[in-house]
Amino acid sequence: MKLSKRSLAIKPSITLALAAKATAMRAEGIAVINFAAGELDTDTPERIKRAAIEALNRGMTKYTEVRGIAPLREAIAQKYKDEFGLEYSSDQVLVSCGGKHSLYNIFQAMLDEGDEVIIPAPYWVSYRDIVLLSGGVPRIVKGSGRDDFRLTPEGLKAALGPRTRALILNSPNNPTGVAYHREELLALSRIVEAHGCLIISDDVYEKIVYDDFEFHNIVTVNPPLKERTVIVNSMSKTYAMTGWRIGYAVGPVPLLSAAGKIQSQSTSNPTSFAQAAALEALHGPDDELKELVRGLQPRRDAIVERFNAMEGVECNRPEGAFYVFPSIRSLLGKQGKKGTIASASDLSNFLLEEAQVVAVPGEDFGSPEHIRFSYTVPMNDIHKGCDRIETALKKLG
């Protein structure tokens, strides 16, 4: 069957595919350890679930305003005022079916054929394909800086050109967990200031930071850039709400209105009662969030330590999110049971077969010498998984 060039230009999301594979293997009785899931291992807090149930019982089962119910948009605008002193009106907020959908709508509204979008690598797998689906040209800029994972002012300057329409910043980053410090963002902001492109700040991991790291985005460090920045955020990671599919974007009215128009002709409103749950999430106390981050930090420390103790593996210590992205460069060229380990994918397959451990190879993150491990699994499983990986790696010749 003839398929569109657009659909043929993209791949299915590998993060979702591997997380599903791990679940399927478990269902078959295979004792896999799932380091692939990009979500928390806790359930959505009770108060949030209750808000959805109450909304259903009240009959909140009909269409809502396409861009999201007014109280939710107001609460989102208020969050930015309370947390960062940034003023947005509720007209500057568009609620969509997850952060990914927000990005999709924004890029559809922004790009024409051939417009370039700068994507610093390593990058979250969907940026590249969403840009392609929107007719844009992904301009991948390899990270350098302290840990090889950061966009530097020099790298950014070299990538900006006459066709550059936008820059994506994602801090804390998926898949590396790296987060930009204030000074780093300020230096990047000086470069884009001079160019005039739009900035998409994907802040979905803003609340998951460790060791007293202070979160900033490009607007909080350089407020005049607010006029041409879209901040994308979501309920998924902060409130353990991945399945509810609620994300949002805040930014300039013309762009968000165009994105809203696209939403009105595709999904219509995000699910009505999930919006009620999101409103409760934003209003609630943040103790549960602090608790969550407190629970993740020792797991980060343990997995970083375990990887660095393995021969041939090097792992940075991320500031945030819940991923580590160890380098397996030194293991490439070694021999496994089925032949040479030539790539991160080969090593991931080897680990799946030898150690029953599922993790996401770096190729689709723009980094073929790394593998992403999500450490949102119980501490016991982190150790069990690392024991198995260590044993398996010793079998490489």
Residues that bind ligand GLU in the complex, under the rule CB under 6 A: 13, 15-16, 38, 100, 124-126, 174
Q: How far is the CB of 13 from ligand GLU (least distance, A)?
A: 5
The CB-nearest residue to ligand GLU is 38
Alpha-carbon distance 95 to 244, whole Å?
A: 13
From residue 223, how far is each of 186, 218, 219, 298 by CA, in Å?
Answer: 10, 8, 5, 35
Buried b (16+ CB within 10 A) or exposed e, 279-311: bbbbeeeeebbeebbeebeebbeebbebbeebe
Three-state DSSP class for residue 121: strand
Determine the Cα–Cα distance for residues 216 and 17; give it in Å rounded to an integer.
32
Query: How many whole angstroms separate alpha carbon 113 and alpha carbon 280?
Result: 40
Which C-beta is closer to ligand GLU: that of 95 or that of 225?
95
Residue in this structure with the two tokens 């353990």, named with its chain if needed = 240
Cβ proximity to ligand GLU, 15 vs 271, nearer residue: 15
Nearest residue to 251 (alpha-carbon basis) of 83, 84, 88: 88
Cβ proximity to ligand GLU: between 13 and 343 the closer is 13
Residue 55 CA to residue 74 CA, distance in Å, equals 18
Cα distance between residue 29 and residue 384, in whole Å: 17
Smallest gap from residue 233 Cβ to ligand GLU (A)? 13
Q: CA-based angle 228:229:232, to the nearest 5?
A: 150
Nearer to ligand GLU, 16 or 302 (CB): 16
User: 307 or 365, CB closer to ligand GLU?
Assistant: 365
| DSSP 8-state assignment for residue 227 | G
Residue placing its CB nearer to ligand GLU in the complex, 79 or 100 = 100
Cα→Cα distances 194→123, 233, 236, Å: 24, 26, 34
Least separation, in Å, of the C-beta of 12 and ligand GLU? 10
Residue 99 Cβ, how far from ligand GLU at the closest point, in Å? 8
CB of 35 to ligand GLU, least distance (A): 11
CB of 117 to ligand GLU, least distance (A): 18
By beta-carbon proximity to ligand GLU, the closer residue of 22 and 156 is: 22
Q: How far is the CB of 174 from ligand GLU (least distance, A)?
A: 5
